[in-house]
Amino acid sequence: MKKEKIAISLDSNLLQVIDSYVDNDFIRSRSQAIESLLNESIKNRPLLDAVMLIHENSLDLLNKNLNGLILMQHHLNFLEKNGVKKLYLITKENPKIKEIISKINHKILIELVYEKEHKGNALALSKLKEKIKGNFLVFNGDTLNNFNLKNMLNEFLKNNKIMYMGLINSSSPSKYGSVVLDGNLVINFKEKKKTNSYIINAGVYLFREEIFSYLNQDIKSLEKDLFPILAKNHEIIGFFTFGEYLHLPESF
């Protein structure tokens, strides 16, 4: 990677702290120490970006009233209280989505990212490869999740796994397919009607930017193509959300 020289002025006390990281082994110079600290800071920055995936056929669900608020308002409230600043909303172009967003009071910057045709949610996510830098949240737009995302993020930042998957217990896992755990490590997924586990995917995920290196034209579906590969590579940690969960296609 090409490097460029820059000139900066820093407080002398701060320079002393930076110099303490020079160990003449992994870090051999002041400039290398600064670069290492900056990379670590960027890697572990607060969660600023989120991605909502929703199929065109499910757009009407965003307008469904739940306890006095439409689902889209619930989504934005959840993101705002957890510090998210920008939402990328991926769907097929449809005037309904702009109409729904126009009804809502929110502080989040929303960028609509349109698919010409839906070929899979992993392919949809790959459209953001050049837009997202750092850690980010992905969630399914047809599912209501309300829990302490900051707890999930804090755990996520403590390790170097590429993905954290939100999990819940379900009394009817045969409707969804289930998640198989070894401790908190996701190691497999069971198909619908072939499971005795009551743990299911809650449809909410934290990713590191490195996830985009897995995405290509052969990886069409997150659930069917990407997640099994990540599980095989021991790159998914499961996190029980212990919050409100509602999969709307089953409720309306």
Residue 224: what pLDDT? 94
Residue 4: what pLDDT? 83
Residue 3: what pLDDT? 80
C-alpha angle 222-156-208 in degrees, rounded to nearest 5: 50
Residue 246 lies in a domain: yes
CA distance 173 to 191: 9
Residue 192: what pLDDT? 66
Containing domain of residue 112, as a range? 49-250
DSSP string over 134-183: S-EEEEETTEEEES-HHHHHHHHHTS--SEEEEEEE-S-GGGT-EEEEET
Q: Are 37 and 15 in contact (CB under 8 A)?
A: no
Residue 156: what pLDDT? 93
Residue 7: what pLDDT? 86
Cα dihedral 149, 70, 89, 113, rounded to 10, equals -170
Residue 111 lies in a domain: yes
Residue 26 lies in a domain: no
| Cα separations in angstroms, 199 against 170, 188, 244 | 6, 12, 15
For residue 118, give the nearest of 221, 242, 247, 232 by alpha carbon: 221
Residue 251: what pLDDT? 65
Cα within 13 Å of Cα(71), Cβ side: 24
Q: Which residues contact 134 (CB under 8 A, 6 or more apart)?
A: 42, 43, 45, 48, 49, 209
Residue 74: what pLDDT? 97
Residue 18 lies in a domain: no
Report pLDDT digits (tens) over 210-248: 999 999 999 999 999 999 999 999 999 999 999 999 998
Residue 56 lies in a domain: yes
Residue 150 lies in a domain: yes
Which CATH number fits the domain that encloses residue 131? 3.90.550.10
Residue 1 has pLDDT above 60, yes or no: no
Q: Domain count for the chain, please give it.
A: 1
CA distance 175 to 92: 26
Residue 38 lies in a domain: no
Percent of the chain whose predicted confidence (pLDDT) is above 70: 92
Residue 23 lies in a domain: no
Cα within 13 Å of Cα(213), Cβ side: 6
Mean pLDDT is lowest, of 24-33, 51-60, 141-150, 168-177, for: 168-177
CA distance 51 to 130: 14
The total number of residues written for the chain in this structure: 252
Report pLDDT digits (tens) over 107-127: 999 999 999 888 999 999 999
Report pLDDT digits (tens) over 156-201: 988 889 999 999 998 776 666 789 999 999 999 987 666 667 899 9
